[in-house]
């Protein structure tokens, strides 16, 4: 009899974790959605949701913006989300010249966001100090106690060697090379930390919140100070064996090109990243311009800015065509600060992709701009905890259910 009760308890625990996992991925869902996502019966899902409600860990929401009724008519379904009391997550983004921090609850609602302009190129210590300060401020803004933080996602612009989380030698942040960013930040915050590179975070942001939502196979291209790619394959982020998959910026175009920061010559980044673009426009105009000014000039019809951006787009399109031949994605999402140029950059990318990809791969893919602009990486830092690894989030919340039951 005891064995039977134990088996039933184990089954209930497993079902609870599956429902929590599905809620953690979606943020908000109906009971019918949860049944489809978990493979459980509706009655089982309703029972699990009732347990979670009694524990004060889920809340009901009425709304029409998430799920369409199966028959297309009738009242909208009641939506379920994990309650704020179930905890929250923190995202940290280290950019070339800024630190950003966001706090979200488990319904995927951003509760607070803090940004600080900071040159983090040289000393990791300065960036880490700023991030810790911003995390404290953002948690206070969100009214989320530190002991309710389930995890921290952190992004850096460069390759992150897994599983250790050490910053690789081709990072745009030279002062961080060799730093075990995950361990250092975890020790400073006293919280579990997961580290990803910026392109992977952009891909996760689009997968969970944006233009990649509902897609199983897409590529995210970040065009900024560097050029990187994030791959979502079969609905999951693909990192490669050592975590460095997606270094598209180091695709070699010419043996006699400029020397890249990686040590090779003729990499895509030497012609098509933000630095070469602003350098080319500045030299031709006889005055120093930044990325925002180049984009503004191009939008205003300046032929020089448009040509430089179009040339960059065509080169990026060749690299993207090769990715499409290899991966056959449903969509290519272009993000990063240069994506603000819109069609001036996107149209040449598409033209080049159509020319250089095999016809079937070109026909299968569409190219769109990312939805988050400069916020993509900090949103992705939230998503890396909400989405990856799913079983850890489910386990943490399930333990809270046991404590409150």
Q: pLDDT tens, 87-109?
A: 899 999 988 788 999 999 988 99
The top-level CATH class assigned to 211-370 is alpha beta
- Please report, for the chain, the start and end positions of each structural domain, with discontinuous segments joined by +: 2-82, 88-202, 211-370
Tell me what the mean pLDDT of segment 16-39 comes to. Answer: 86
| Rounded-to-integer distance, Cα 143 and Cα 147, Å | 12
Q: Pick the more confident residue, 54 or 69.
A: 54
The yes or no reply on domain 2-82 and CATH 1.10.10.10 is: yes
Average pLDDT over residues 275-293: 96
Q: What angle do CA 345, 200, 373 make, to 5 degrees?
A: 45
Q: Find tokens 């070469």 and name the residue.
A: 276
Backbone angles phi, psi at 332, to 5 degrees: -115, 125
What are 159-208's pLDDT values in tens digits?
777 666 676 665 566 667 777 888 889 999 999 999 888 899 999 999 99
- Distance (Å, whole) CA 355 – CA 243: 31
- DSSP letters along 9-77, please? HHHHHHHHHHHHHHHHHHSEEEHHHHHHHH---HHHHHHHHHHHHHTT-EEEEE-SSS---TTS-SSPP
Fold match between 2-82 and 88-202?
Answer: no
Q: Which of 335, 300, 126 is nearest to 229 (CA)?
A: 335
Highest-pLDDT range among 25-39, 84-98, 373-387: 373-387
The answer to which of 68-77, 185-194, 314-323, 330-339 has the lowest mean pLDDT is: 68-77
Pick among 3.40.50.300, 3.30.420.40, 2.60.40.1890, 2.30.40.10: CATH of 88-202:
3.30.420.40
């Amino acid at each position: 009899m005891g064995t039977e009760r134990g088996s039933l308890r184990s089954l209930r625990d497993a079902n609870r974790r599956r429902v929590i996992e599905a809620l953690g991925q979606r943020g908000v869902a109906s009971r019918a959605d949860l049944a489809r996502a978990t493979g459980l019966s509706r009655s089982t899902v309703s029972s699990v949701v009732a347990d979670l409600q009694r524990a004060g860990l889920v809340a009901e929401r009425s709304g029409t913006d998430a799920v369409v009724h199966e028959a297309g008519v009738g009242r909208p379904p009641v939506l379920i989300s994990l309650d704020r009391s179930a905890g929250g997550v923190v995202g940290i983004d280290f950019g070339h010249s800024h630190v950003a921090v966001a706090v979200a609850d488990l319904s995927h609602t951003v509760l607070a966001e803090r940004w600080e302009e900071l040159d983090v190129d040289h000393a990791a210590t300065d960036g880490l100090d700023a991030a810790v300060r911003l995390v404290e401020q953002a948690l206070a803004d969100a009214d989320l106690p530190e002991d309710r933080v389930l995890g921290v996602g952190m992004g850096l612009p460069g390759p992150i060697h897994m599983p250790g989380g050490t910053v690789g030698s081709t990072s745009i942040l030279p002062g961080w090379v060799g730093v075990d960013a995950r361990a250092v930040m975890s020790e400073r915050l006293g919280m579990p930390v997961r580290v990803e590179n910026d392109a992977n975070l952009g891909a996760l942001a689009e997968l969970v919140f944006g233009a990649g939502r509902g897609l199983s196979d897409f590529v995210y291209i970040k065009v900024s100070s560097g050029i990187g790619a994030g791959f979502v394959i079969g609905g999951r982020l693909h990192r490669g064996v050592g975590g460095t998959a997606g270094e598209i910026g180091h695709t070699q175009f010419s043996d006699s090109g400029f020397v890249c920061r990686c040590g090779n010559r003729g990499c895509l980044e030497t012609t098509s990243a933000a630095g070469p673009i602003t350098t080319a426009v500045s030299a031709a105009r006889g005055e120093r311009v930044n990325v925002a000014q180049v984009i503004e000039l191009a939008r205003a019809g300046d032929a020089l800015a448009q040509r430089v951006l179009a040339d960059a787009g065509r080169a990026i399109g060749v690299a993207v065509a090769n990715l499409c031949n290899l991966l056959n994605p449903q969509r290519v999402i272009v993000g990063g600060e240069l994506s603000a140029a819109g069609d001036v950059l996107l149209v040449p990318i598409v033209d080049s992709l159509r020319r250089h990809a095999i016809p079937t791969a070109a026909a299968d893919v569409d190219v769109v701009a990312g939805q988050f602009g400069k916020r993509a990486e900090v949103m992705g830092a939230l998503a890396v905890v909400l989405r990856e690894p799913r079983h850890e989030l489910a386990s943490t919340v399930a333990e809270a259910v046991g404590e409150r039951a």
